[in-house]
Amino acid sequence: MRQLQTVHSHKHRVPVQPRLEPVTISGMPPLHSYSWAKWEGKWLIFGGRTNGLHGFQPPFAFPTANQNGMIYVIDPDSNLLWSTSASVLPVAIREQIISSNQQFTQDSNYLYITGGYGFASVPNSLITFPYLTRIDVNGLIQSIVQQQSLLPYFSQVYDERMAVTGGHMVIVDSLLNLVMGHRFDGRYNPHNGPSFTQTYTNAIRTFTVEDSANQVVIRNYSETIDTLLYHKRDYNLVPQVLAGGAEIHTAFTGVFQYGIDLPWTFSVDIQGGTGSLITNFEQKLNQYHTAYAPLYDSISGMNTTIFFGGMGFYYPDSLNQIQQDSLVPFVKTISYVQRDATGLTEGYFPIQMPGYEGSSAEFIPSEVALSGNGVIKLHALDTGDVVIGYIVGGITSDQPNIFMQATGTSWASSTVYKVIIKKPTVSGLSNSDHQLIPTLKLYPNPAQQHLSVEFELTSPEKLNLEIMDQLGKSVIRMDRKWYKTGVNSERINLDVLRSGQYSVAVIKDGKIIRVASFIKGL
């Protein structure tokens, strides 16, 4: 573990402050990595797992007995729960919908799911399922409540292009976007034995779904490939609203970097079926998939996304120092990313999750006003405390690091937290001294042989530049020298670097005062 001095906490304002209150729902199952939909205040929940973090040897990795074989309907307001077994469904449908880490998105009354990882009777193994399935949400909810047949509310099509897990899916203007993820077949083995095959999609796949003879059909398929920007899984795909009202999605962080089991800290904006790198921003906190709440204030033009716990390469300690742990532990951090016309800023709240929880949980919004892509309209909320939604399930651990260790355990959570917001002043996170260096630009990004570094100074300063890898190790260091007031630039040869993510630090008297990230191309 290493304490980082590249970031400092300070005071600044965010438009909301969350508060969590546990909710008792009788019969609530322990569950994580599931799929969900909503209709008239009721939740439809299926798939996922009932144990904690997966095992690290093939006999214990993703045991079939811990797949969730039930389909649940939950009314959080009236504390009512209904359930039925998925065993009544045909094999192909049943095996997919009880799998974990499916991609899913709801369009009005239809829920679309693709892929997912679980046991298949043929070939008698764990696979990523090559199906797209459409569910009539209202019909299925009513059939479960009334204990009627489930089958009329499912339609499924076989397609190998849908065999994805650990990604996300969203719908934009009737076009489904299957964003990143990977295909994983076989049993997990951390030593990369012969028990599995894994292929990242490195893609954003777009298509439409149409009806033909009462069956769903995939049409208008296309994909874009980027082996760096799209090489992600287990990330957070968050709806955002840009200045002027344009609605996009942002893929925040995710795993894994090439050649090393560490999360990425860069993020990618997704719009029109393609992605673009967000420059001059690193997300250091809450980097795996977790429950998150996106909000937008049309008056200030500010997006605020709140990330609840999960796992992270970095975390703030009790003294507000940012710590780095290459084991990427479970964390209690509740962080936020703000976005406006000037860029993105990361921070964290003084409150934390009650335990090491939030990983593979979901945030289900309450009956609040949403934008077309699902952002909560902050300016439309009532004054005072407002319940904006619920954190449901996830993985809970009794220690931050239980990976490859004989001690510590984790389990699927049955806890539901009500998320309430109000307006506070909070602790923040920054990695720069904006007074001394107002701008730091890196281009091209991603870079190949050379990187240009351009920064502005408000006064002459004696500085040196340093390139660091994701463990904070210096890999290129330039000699200290004087730089003039105004814009300065350097061109750095990158031939000695492998592909991956790096940071450029501007250093004064041994202290890092400004840092930005870039990608070294293949």
- DSSP assignments along 194-245, one per residue: TTEEEEE--EEEEEEEEEETTEEEEEEEEEEE-TTTT--BS-EEEEEE-TTS
The owner of tokens 């094999």 is 91
The owner of tokens 């045909």 is 90
The span from the CA of 356 to the CA of 399, in Å, is 7
Each residue's pLDDT tens digit, 327-347: 999 999 999 999 988 899 999
Opening angle at CA 230, ends 157 and 236, nearest 5: 80
The span from the CA of 155 to the CA of 379, in Å, is 39
Whole-structure pTM value:
0.86
Classify 94 as helix, strand or coil. helix
The span from the CA of 450 to the CA of 443, in Å, is 9
Give buried/exposed letters for 385-413 (b at 16+ CB in 10 A, else e).
ebbbbbbbbbbbbeebbbbeeeeeebbbb
Strand partners, 276: 269
**Residue 218 has which token pair?**
């995939």
**CB 351 within 8 Å of CB 18:** yes
Strand partners, 503: 468, 517
pLDDT, tens digit only, all 522 positions of the chain: 444 434 434 344 566 889 999 999 999 999 999 999 999 999 999 999 999 988 766 777 888 999 999 999 999 999 999 999 999 999 999 999 999 999 999 999 999 999 999 999 999 999 999 999 999 999 999 999 999 999 999 999 999 999 999 999 999 999 999 999 999 999 888 766 778 999 999 999 999 999 887 789 999 999 999 999 999 999 999 999 997 789 999 999 999 999 898 999 999 999 999 999 999 899 999 999 999 999 998 878 889 999 999 999 999 988 888 999 999 999 999 999 999 888 999 999 989 999 999 999 999 999 998 999 999 998 888 777 899 999 999 999 999 998 766 678 999 999 999 999 975 444 444 444 446 787 888 999 999 999 999 999 988 999 999 998 876 778 999 999 999 999 999 999 999 998 888 888 888 887 777 878 888 887
Cα end-to-end distance, the chain, whole Å = 29
Q: What are phi and psi of 115, to 5 degrees?
A: 60, -135
Q: What domains does the chain contain, in order, with CATH numbers?
A: 1-22+234-430 (no CATH), 34-100+102-231 (no CATH), 440-520 (2.60.40.10)
Taking residue 184's Cβ as centre, other Cβ atoms within 10 Å add up to 24
The span from the CA of 394 to the CA of 412, in Å, is 6
Q: What is the overall mean pLDDT for the chain?
A: 90
